[in-house]
Amino acid sequence: MKSILSYNVNGIRSAVGKGLIDFLVEIDPDIVCFQETKAQPGQMHEDDFKRIGYHVNAFSAVKKGYSGVAIFSKQKPDHIEYGMGIEKYDVEGRVIRADFGDISVISVYFPSGTTGDIRQSFKMEFLFDFQNYLAQLRKTRTKLVISGDYNICRLWIDIHNPEKQQGTSGFLPEEREWFANFVADGFVDSFRVINQEKHQYSWWSYRAGARQNNKGWRIDYHMLTDNLTDRILDAKIFQDAIHSDHCPVWVNLDF
DNA sequence: ATGGTCGCGCTGCGA
C-alpha cells in the first residue's frame, strides 16, 4: 500500500515557510511529487525533508527560481530518470521519474500557456511530445503513475465557469481533446474513479478572492495506466492545505 | 472589468 501526494508548491521555500513540513508529517505520504519547486539543489530544505524520512530527488530548471520538479520518497527509488530526453523541455525541469519495483512514478509540470501564443504553442508541442514519450516508456515500464500539474481542466465539471472559460488557456477545446485522447490511450484519472462530484478544484487564482469563493480549476492529477485501476484504494484533494495557489492531490494505491 | 496577486531574483517576469 502506497500513498502518493502531488503538490504544485509554487516555490518550495515559500511553502516550507507556510508549514509544508508539518503538513507532510500529518498526512505521511509514501511518495511526494512536487512541481514548481522554483529552487536549485541545496535550496530545497533538503535536510528538513530527510529528517522526516524522505529520500530527496529533484530536477531543477536551468533558470533560477523557475519551474522544477521533484520526487521525495520514504523508500529509496531503484532508479531515477531526469527529464524526457528533449532539451527544450528538460532545461525547464518539467519531468522526473522514479522506479519502485515494476511501478514507475513520474512528477510532471506541464507548461502554462497563459502568457501568450508562443507559450501556448510550446504547451501544445509538449502535450504531444509527452504523450509520445509515455508511449515509448510503456514498452519497458508498463505500470505508470503520472502525477502532476497538467495545466488542463479535463471535463466541464472540473472548472467553476465552463461556458466563460472556453477561450482560456487550460480549458481550450484542443487541450481537452488532447486529454480525451490521452485517456483513450489507456490512462485513468484516479480521482474520478473515487469521486464524481463537481467543484473538486486543485487550483485557484491568487487574484480577486478566487479561493474564498471556490472559483477554481482541477488541473492536478494522478493519471494511472489502466492496468492499475483495480489497485486504487482511495483518492482525495486536500483543499484546506494552504501553502500555494494549488492544493495537494492524493491517491492511495495497493502496490 | 485588460484589473486582480503571488514567488523569485532583481528593479521585471512568469504564472
Do A132 and A138 touch, CB atoms closer than 8 A? no
Q: What is the CA radius of gyration of chain A?
A: 17
> What does the pLDDT look like over A26-60, one tens digit per residue?
999 999 999 999 999 999 999 999 999 999 999 99
Distance CA A176, CA A45 (A): 36
Residue carrying C-alpha cell 522544477: A68
Amino acid at A62: V
Residue carrying C-alpha cell 486504487: A232
Distance CA A149, CA A28 (A): 21
pLDDT for A1 beyond 90: no
Q: How far is the CA of A254 from the C1' of B15 (A)?
A: 35
* CA nearest neighbour of A7 among A29, A60, A190, A17: A29
A165-171 mean pLDDT: 97
Q: Could you tell me what percent of chain A has a pLDDT over 70?
A: 100
pTM of the model: 0.98
Do A79 and A71 touch, CB atoms closer than 8 A? no
Residue carrying C-alpha cell 502525477: A147
> What does the pLDDT look like over A172-211, one tens digit per residue?
999 999 999 999 999 999 999 999 999 999 999 999 999 9
Is residue A175 helix, strand or coil? helix
Q: Could you tell me what percent of chain A has a pLDDT over 90?
A: 100
Among A30, A149, A158, A220, the active-site one is: A149
Q: Which nucleotides in chain B lie closer than 7 A to a protein CB?
A: 1, 4-10, 14-15
Q: How far is the CA of A201 from the C1' of B5 (A)?
A: 19
Nucleotide nearest to A116 (CA to C1'): B14
Among A89, A109, A133, A201, the active-site one is: A109
E strand or H helix at A21, and its extent?
Answer: helix A20-27
Q: How far is the CA of A162 from the C1' of B1 (A)?
A: 19
E strand or H helix at A97, and its extent?
Answer: strand A95-100
Strand partners, A95: A108
Position A154 scores a pLDDT of 98
Average pLDDT score over chain A:
98
Nucleotide nearest to A11 (CA to C1'): B7
pLDDT for A118 beyond 90: yes
Q: Hey, what domains does chain A have and what are their CATH numbers?
A: 2-253 (3.60.10.10)
> What does the pLDDT look like over A141-156, one tens digit per residue?
999 999 999 999 999 9
Distance CA A28, CA A3 (A): 8
